Structure 1
Amino acid sequence: MSNLFVYGTLRHVPLLAVVLGREADAIDMSQARLSGHLVHGVRGEDFPFLAKGDGNADGLLLRGLSETDVARLDFYEGGYDYALIPLQVTSDQGIEDAQVYVSEAAAWVPEGLWSLADWAAAYGVFTVHKALEEMSYFGSRSRAEVDQLLPTIKSRASAKVIAGTQEILHNPSQLSLSDVTVSKLERPYANFFSMEEYELSFRRYDGTMSETVKRAVFMGTDAALVLPYDPVRDRVMLVEQFRLGPTARGDDKPWQLEPIAGRVDGGETPVQTAHREAQEEAGLTLQRLESIGKCYASPGGCTEYFHIYLGVADLPDEVVGVSGLEVEAEDIRSYLYSFEEVMGLVDRQALDNAPLILALLWLSRHRERVRAAA
């Protein structure tokens, strides 16, 4: 059994409970401080590091940790380049020996004193969601393997944050997430995407709970989609790229004509994603965005959620070309269509990309207003 002093994000008790794998009231902990040290923020990052300095580093002293507890903590903190060293801290019981995670990354640039309250307000919920998936791999994957998954883990965590904070849409039954009871959750596959298998029950319309059922879901992310539109020239830009979905289905046309689109990265908002993807996929600087809608792609078996926008932009003839990020093996061609031409494709059912069709139909309803505002 050993003691550990935590001074950074693990002072956020909901996160600590996830990392240790038990409820907060089952953790032996008390307030403590480490003299001669300060906790600094890291420029461009959402975590702190400890450095010697005139003052005290406030934290929590965790007592009586088991080997499994320490292994779980090492697994989590291994993603942040920390190592354990022995130090002495002062608690309500006096001076006590404890292990402390200290940064090995000398290249980090300090940026002011770190605040737990400020961090929790900005990143607390996101980090807890991220840690829930990270810690689900404890004992089955190495820390290095989990680090490879971190970008998509962060994107899935961002999706959960957005889902938990967005306004409630039309809900005639008034049923909510509290009317679902999950008895078992497993993640048999995780890579760029993941699969989750649930055993759960849900409230029926007669007020009773259903029997326990087994369901599987494809875990995607939230995505921002943009239909670029030039209201002066009355034309849209569409992009074309190879897509695996049609390929796996056996479609002889696996290159899809679609809106600009990309996943919402960890810590990003859908609006930020929309502007970033317009630059990456088409070299476009959007003048403004109008929300077309927010919707699930296929709610029966997929978490992917679309934030669809009209992107008002200048679209001269020479704006088209081939773009995309080389590091993501993107090869994306852009095309320009007049409004009448592209709506003709809709009418002839010559397009088979659902968010594109939805965006174009929205434009057909709002086109005159958008043009009048140009």
Structure 2
Amino acid sequence: MTQTTRSVPTAFEISRRENCFQGFYRLDKLFLRHELFEGGMGREISRELFVRHDAVCVLPYDARRDEVVLIEQFRVGALEKTGNPWLIEMVAGLIDKEEEPEEVAHREAEEEAGLTFSALWPITKYFPSPGGSDEFVHLFLGQCSSQGAGGIHGLESEGEDIRVTVWSFDDAMQAVADGRIMNAATIIAMQWLALNRTEIRGLWS
């Protein structure tokens, strides 16, 4: 089958932008038109946009022990769609100041898990929900020692109550397969580690 080569749309026009809510996060309503695949500009449409800070997520990994360090905390977004809103996740935080993603990774590792990273390996960058949010995620693997990791962490001033646990790589992958880990960033990072684990262990062990 021969595919017809078509140009990629690049043009869009925002005619109006209204702020609907302003708190720690922001909700805007945009009125816009964009170029169509068949050519020309489409009709004006309106879309709500959840405006968020970009995020940094890091999977702490001890290559010598072949263990990952995961955290558990209450998540309001999971309150009504799962029987247990305490989700198993990885270290994460928002870029809410003039910081590089790597700086956020090191800061959040200390605050949320009491960990120090000796190296960071960039995994990927992605939009978790571009249909309605502008959040952009920087995903890393963090080299650490899992020995002695654990306990309760987090900043009381931010209402954080975080339990830190150490998992073997195999147990964490089984938790992904079983659906016990249902956080997108953690699933992506664990699957990436499964594909690149031999190389990582060779370099970091």
**What range describes the TM-score normalised by the shorter chain of this pair?**
over 0.9
Residue 243 of structure 1 aligns with an amino acid whose one-letter code is: R
SS of the residue aligned with 1:369? helix
Find out whether 1:211 has 2:43 as its counterpart: yes
Matching residue of 1:352:
182
What does residue range 230-269 of structure 1 map to in structure 2 within 5 Å?
A: 230-247=62-79, 249-269=80-100
Q: Considering only aligned residues, what root-mean-square deviation do their CA atoms show, in Å?
A: 1.3
- Secondary structure of the equivalent of 1:342? helix
Query: SS of the residue aligned with 1:319?
Result: coil
2:170 to 318, 340, 344: 340
CA distance in 2, matches of 1:346, 1:188: 37
Calculate the TM-score normalised by the size of structure 2.
0.93
Tell me, which stretches of 5 or more residues in structure 1 are unaligned?
1-171
* Aligned counterparts of 2:75 and 2:177: Cα–Cα separation in 1: 24
Larger RCO, structure (CA 8 Å, separation 6 or more): 2
Q: Secondary structure at the match of 1:224?
A: strand
In structure 2, the residue matched to 1:286 is: 117
- State whether structure 2 residue 28 is matched by structure 1 residue 191: no
Q: Which residue of 1 aligns with 2:103?
A: 272
Match of 2:56 in 1: 224
Q: Percent identity?
A: 38
Q: Decide whether the 8 Å contact of 2:59 with 2:69 is kept in 1.
A: yes
> Does the aligned pair in 1 maintain the 2:61–2:144 contact within 8 Å?
yes
Matching residue of 1:73:
none
1:225/1:306 contact within 8 Å kept: yes
Tell me the CA shift for residue 250 of structure 1. 4.1
TM-score (norm 1): 0.52
Provide the secondary structure at the position in 1 that maps to 2:60.
strand
The alpha-carbon distance between structure 1 residues 337 and 173, as it changes in their structure 2 partners (threshold 3 A), is: farther
Query: Is the 8 Å Cα contact of residues 88 and 180 (structure 2) preserved in structure 1?
Result: no
Report whether the alignment pairs 1:298 with 2:129: yes
CA distance in 2, matches of 1:186, 1:207: 28
Whether contact under 8 Å (2:139, 2:185) holds in the other structure is yes
How far apart are 1:319 and its partner, in Å?
1.4
Query: 1:217: how far off?
Result: 1.1
Q: Structure 2: how far apart are the matches of 1:298 and 1:201? A: 20
Runs of 4+ off more than 2 Å: 172-176, 249-252, 347-350
Alpha-carbon distance in structure 1 between the residues aligned to 2:135 and 2:83: 25
- Provide the aligned length of Structure 1 versus Structure 2: 199
Higher helix share: 1
- AA partner of residue 294 (structure 1): K
Q: Does 1:326 align with 2:156?
A: yes
The letter of the residue matching 2:90 is P
Verify the 8 A CA contact 1:265 1:273 in the aligned structure 2: no
Q: CA deviation at 1:289?
A: 0.5
Relative distance call for 1:203 and 1:275 in structure 2 (3 A) is: same
User: Could you report, residue by residue, the CA deviation over 1:169-211 in whole angstroms, capped at 9, with x for unpaired residues?
Assistant: xxx96444xx110001001101011101011000001220010
